[in-house]
Amino acid sequence: MKLLKTIKKIFEKNDSNSIENIEEFMLENNFGVEFTENFIEKIKKERVTSENIEETLKENIKTILNSADPEIHFGNSIPSVFLFVGTNGTGKTTSIAKLAHLYKNQGKKVMLVAGDTFRAAAAKQLEIWADKLNVPIVMQKEGSDPGAVVFDGLNSAVSKNIDVLLIDSAGRVETKKNLLNELKKIERIIEKRTGRKPDETLLVLDAYTGQNGIAQIEVFSSMVDISGIILTKIDGSSSGGIIIPIIQKYGIPVKFICTGESIEDIEQFNTETFIKMLTG
Ligand SMILES: Nc1nc2c(ncn2[C@@H]2O[C@H](COP(=O)(O)OP(=O)(O)O)[C@@H](O)[C@H]2O)c(=O)[nH]1
Ligand SMILES: [Mg+2]
């Protein structure tokens, strides 16, 4: 990503447009208005030099990142239930497969629930992953009630002593009202069966979408209590700058980042590692 190096380079040019160019670059890379304006003020007022600009920026970013707790919450009784929400195409199903792989390798018993019953292809895709990873999956036919699938999944998980139950959900934000009712019902069923809300409700966001990701936080927060974010596709050309306004504005921790399409491309969020990624 090399974002911080680029900012330093722009600063070193030291022409009449440098500060404006830094501002533009930071906004383009989704650092968010609040963070960008504060930093620009700092450059103008304090003795920021080409020697310390990168360090100053890093420190400012660290303060924001450290203000949210990225710890993953497992339940105090099994199964721990993780509900995945997010717009179609952001990487929900893939992230579930990645986490199933990760937790299975840690010796946990994992089960998947195909809660996106709207499209047959969605359940099929999850089923393919379940087969590949050799983990059980609970699914029903296309068009069935997602609440019923989740109910089945919970019962099956309890009877099989599953440690972690990963629940996929539909992402058709176009029919917001239906999705809202669906997610609320899923939450209710989980609470009834386990005595608690989902241990994690993870919103999956695609880093490529930039500011649209922020809009998705607004939409999904109005439906469910988001406990954390999985930021996908921060490989290739996309920058991870979007993490800053997510944490600064919404106080929602980023819990995992995904850096590619293969099963191992997921890691738990860590401030130091992330700063290194931004530095390049
Ligand atoms: N490059 C890249 N592609 C990803 C990542 N995560 C998911 N994808 C791809 O994004 C597409 C949509 O993913 P999918 O899991 O089906 O999204 P869903 O509709 O939210 O369930 C697929 O082609 C995935 O392989 C990632 O971290 N990096
Ligand atoms: Mg999916």
Token pair, residue 255, equals 């819990």
Residues 174 and 215 in one domain: yes
Token pair, residue 78, equals 């099994």
Q: In 3-state terms, what secondary structure has residue 200?
A: strand
Q: How far apart are CA 176 and CA 4, in angstroms?
A: 38
Residues 47 and 168 in one domain: no
pLDDT exceeds 90 at position 187:
yes
As a whole-number percent, the residues of the chain with pLDDT over 70 amount to 99
Identify which has the larger pLDDT, 175 or 275.
275
37: Cβ–Cβ under 8 A, 6 or more apart, which residues?
none
What are the φ and ψ backbone dihedral angles of 272, each rounded to 5 degrees? -60, -45
How many angstroms separate the alpha carbon of residue 33 from the centre of ligand 2?
A: 32
Of the candidates 67, 154, 73, the residue with the CA atom closest to the CA atom of residue 113? 154
Please return the burial class of 272, using the count of CB atoms within 10 Å of its CB with bins 0-12, 13-18 and 19+. exposed
* DSSP letter, residue 54: H
Q: What's residue 71's pLDDT?
A: 95
- Model confidence at 97, in pLDDT bands (50, 70, 90)? very high
Average pLDDT, the chain: 93
In this predicted model, what pLDDT tens digit does every residue of 100-159 receive, in sequence order? 999 999 999 999 999 999 888 999 999 999 999 999 999 999 889 999 999 999 999 999
pTM of the complete model: 0.94
Domain count, the chain: 2
Mean pLDDT of the region 261-267: 96
* DSSP letter, residue 240: S
How many angstroms separate the alpha carbon of residue 92 from the centre of ligand 2?
A: 5
236 is in which domain, residue-wise? 80-279
Does the CB atom of residue 258 touch ligand 1 within 6 A? Answer: yes
Q: What's residue 239's pLDDT?
A: 73
Residue 72 located in a structural domain: no
Report every protein residue that has its C-beta within 5 angstroms of ion ligand 2: 92-93, 122
Residues 86 and 148 in one domain: yes
Strands 254-258 and 266-268: antiparallel
Residues 264 and 161 in one domain: yes
